[in-house]
Amino acid sequence: MFGLGKKRSKFGKFLDKNSITQIEIAKESGVNRNTISRLAKSEEYSCSMKNWKKIIKTLRKAGYDVDYEDF
């Protein structure tokens, strides 16, 4: 089970709901795993638009209909 007892952002909840691991996203998108982890934990943390584009592109390629405003 993912996300038990952890504070999660909208992005983290999305990953948990769809059973996507942070490592999978990091591998496919080329974004550092630590950045993915920070995004999944905190609503206050924001990475560069370049990294968000990579993450969104990876999720869309996997078949998820997501946009920047979703997170």
Please tell me the predicted confidence (pLDDT) of residue 69.
85
Please tell me the predicted confidence (pLDDT) of residue 43.
86
CA angle 14, 18, 20 (to 5 degrees): 90
Please tell me the predicted confidence (pLDDT) of residue 6.
74
Residue type (1 letter), 37? S
Whole-prediction pTM value? 0.84
Asked if 41 and 29 count as a contact pair (C-beta separation under 8 A), the reply is no
Q: For 10-40, what is each residue's pLDDT tens digit?
A: 999 999 999 999 999 999 999 999 999 999 9
Cα(3)–Cα(25) distance, rounded to whole angstroms? 16
